[in-house]
Amino acid sequence: MPANVRKPLPGQIHLSRRSYLQWANTVAQLTRTPKSLKKPRSEASDLEIAAALIHDMRPDLIQLWETFTTERADVSRYLMDPKREALVYLLGFHLANQARTLGVLLRLQRRSGLLSSLSERAEPVRLVDLGCGTGALSLTTAQELKELNPNLALSFELIDKSQNFLEAAAMQAKALVAEDAVLLRRQKLDDYLSRELSNGPAEGLVWYQIGYLWNEIMQSPKTTQLMLRYLEAGLQKGKRVLTIIEPANQDLARGAMELRQELVNRGYQVLYPCSHNLDCPMLERTRDWCYSEFAWERPPLVRNVDKILEIDRHRIGCAAYVFVSPDMIKDFRQPASIVVGRPLDRNASMHSRKFEYLLCSEDGLSKATPGEGLELMRGQTFDPVKERASTKPKVPKAEAKPTPEAKPKADARKPGVRKPQGRKAPRKER
Ligand SMILES: C[S@@+](CC[C@H](N)C(=O)[O-])C[C@H]1O[C@@H](n2cnc3c(N)ncnc32)[C@H](O)[C@@H]1O
């Protein structure tokens, strides 16, 4: 690790230097020389080019962020200019989605051993990234599998209606696998899914990746039905894994909870975050919603973007799920209970800000008093023995303060930062 890269705090997500540099290289390849670059391009590093571009694209970053946080219904229109849109997404949001995916995969691996099991099986894995955008989910999954078994045969099938997004994803995928192992499908999902349904499910081990897409297609019953039928058809063949990531805010995370229920009804088994495959007990409680939180050691240029957006992604959230087909479940362990909320302790004074853990297990929802160990975030496993046994408080800075319930801090605006004139205050977080 180079001297200028700080070591992550315990429990923090830390993207590898390699994927950070690969991201910067893709940014640099996709852009003309930024106006604010202070040296000849030939002498500038990819990171310097990306830094200058972030500076130059400040208005676009703000505009795209506000589209994501305020007018999600219009989100499919993004910035109207497809080339600019893919570049701004890559600059501002790709790494955060990689961090979220990595957070999910690390927890998944720790509790179920799914990734090491797949890497030991040494059977080729096909990563099918639907609405791939810049490829954050499938790239991170590939990187993690390769880390465990560099010889594992991986291939990508990247599907998106936008050529510019596909290009950005493909550049990074081709840095990980041979060129002929990256298949690009510039297609509307309706066309892709209809064709796949008539062809029948593919042979072999398939890992579907669906990131920040469901909320964009939710308004289209035709697309969502095709998607559900397509995913269900995969179960006939077995050897299926499915990652779904959605925004953490109440409406969209509840949409993801309903999707989880639908997939369970159709035969999928949830491996993350749930500790069981029963009906989701939080769906009955209209005020609650399930999402995951992670502490993220943001790379330097993500901090630059955060300054522009007046947000602080040292803590990130998302509604995230990983499923497998039933033929695979026998291999994996599941934890007993998961932290799904941290309501303030009603018996304590308001000033104490004492909180409890809201836990989800196959017995339903229950509450527990936190022990003295590391503060747990939503989506983490609750271990009653550890909670009682740990006596030394060792709370990383990023996790030090409990948050009041119903106010997720993920991607939160910094307290005390005034909203600039003329910009709408984001109502929802991503
Ligand atoms: C918010 S981005 C998410 C990108 C990526 N999956 C991630 O998590 O970072 C949604 C992507 O889905 C694509 N998309 C949305 N609706 C689509 C459709 N009906 N057909 C094909 N692609 C679609 C968009 O072009 C965009 O690249």
**250-260: per-residue pLDDT in tens?**
999 999 999 99
Confidence tier at 344 by pLDDT (50, 70, 90):
confident
Confidence tier at 377 by pLDDT (50, 70, 90):
very high
Closest ligand 1 atom to Cα of 210 = 6
- Asked if residue 347 has pLDDT above 90, the reply is no
- Asked if residue 48 has pLDDT above 50, the reply is yes
Q: Are 316 and 293 in contact (CB under 8 A)?
A: yes
Q: What is the model's pLDDT at position 261?
A: 97
Closest ligand 1 atom to Cα of 187 = 21
Confidence tier at 346 by pLDDT (50, 70, 90):
confident
Q: What is the model's pLDDT at position 13?
A: 96
Beta partners for residue 142, in sequence order: none
For the chain, give the percent of residues with pLDDT over 90.
73
Confidence tier at 70 by pLDDT (50, 70, 90):
confident
Q: What are the tokens at 256?
A: 């993801």
Q: Please choose, from the candidates 170, 269, 263, 151, the residue with its C-alpha nearest in 3D space to the C-alpha of residue 214.
A: 263
Domain ranges of the chain: 92-326, 337-399
If one compares 428 and 152, the residue with the highest pLDDT of the two is 152
If one compares 332 and 417, the residue with the highest pLDDT of the two is 332
Distance 132 CA to ligand 1 centre (A): 6
For the chain, give the percent of residues with pLDDT over 70.
84
**87-145: per-residue pLDDT in tens?**
999 999 999 999 999 999 999 999 989 999 999 988 999 999 999 999 999 999 999 99
d(C-alpha 131, C-alpha 224), whole Å: 13
Confidence tier at 237 by pLDDT (50, 70, 90):
very high
182-186 and 154-160 beta bridge pairing: parallel
d(C-alpha 96, C-alpha 101), whole Å: 9
C-alpha count within 13 angstroms, C-beta hemisphere, residue 369 = 7
**Burial class for 180, CB neighbours closer than 10 Å (0-12, 13-18, 19+):** exposed
Q: What is the model's pLDDT at position 216?
A: 93
Q: What is the model's pLDDT at position 11?
A: 74
**407-422: per-residue pLDDT in tens?**
434 443 333 333 333 3
d(C-alpha 275, C-alpha 292), whole Å: 14
Task: Identify the weakest region by mean pLDDT among 47-51, 117-121, 390-394.
Answer: 390-394
Residue type, position 48, single letter: E
CA-closest residue to ligand 1 atom 13? 131
Q: What is the model's pLDDT at position 404?
A: 41
Query: Three-state DSSP class for 179?
Result: helix
Mean pLDDT of 231-247: 97
Instruction: Find where tokens 């045969």 sit.
Output: 153
Mean pLDDT of 262-291: 93
**135-162: per-residue pLDDT in tens?**
999 999 999 999 999 999 999 999 999 9
Q: What is the model's pLDDT at position 148?
A: 96
Q: What is the model's pLDDT at position 374?
A: 80
Task: Identify the weakest region by mean pLDDT among 22-36, 154-168, 326-340, 369-383.
Answer: 326-340
Distance 318 CA to ligand 1 centre (A): 16
Mean pLDDT of 214-227: 96
Distance 251 CA to ligand 1 centre (A): 19
CATH tag for 92-326 (out of 3.40.50.150, 1.10.1060.10, 3.40.1260.10, 3.40.710.10): 3.40.50.150
- Asked if residue 355 has pLDDT above 60, the reply is yes
Task: Please list every protein residue whose CB sits less than 6 Å from any atom of ligand 1.
Answer: 76, 97, 131-134, 136-137, 160-162, 165, 188-189, 211-213, 216-217, 223
Residue 411 main-chain phi, psi, to 5 deg: 55, 20
Closest ligand 1 atom to Cα of 137 = 8
- Asked if residue 395 has pLDDT above 50, the reply is no
CA-closest residue to ligand 1 atom 26? 133
Write out 144-169 in H/E/C secondary structure.
HHHHHCCCCCEEEEEEECCHHHHHHH
**Ligand 1 mutation target, pool 72, 94, 161, 162, most atoms within 8 A of CB:** 161
The mean pLDDT of the chain is 86
Helix axes 46-56, 300-309, angle to 10 degrees: 0
Q: What is the model's pLDDT at position 285?
A: 85
- Asked if residue 7 has pLDDT above 60, the reply is no
Distance 72 CA to ligand 1 centre (A): 13
Mean pLDDT of 190-217: 97
Q: What is the model's pLDDT at position 371?
A: 84
**292-330: per-residue pLDDT in tens?**
999 999 999 999 999 999 999 999 999 999 999 999 977
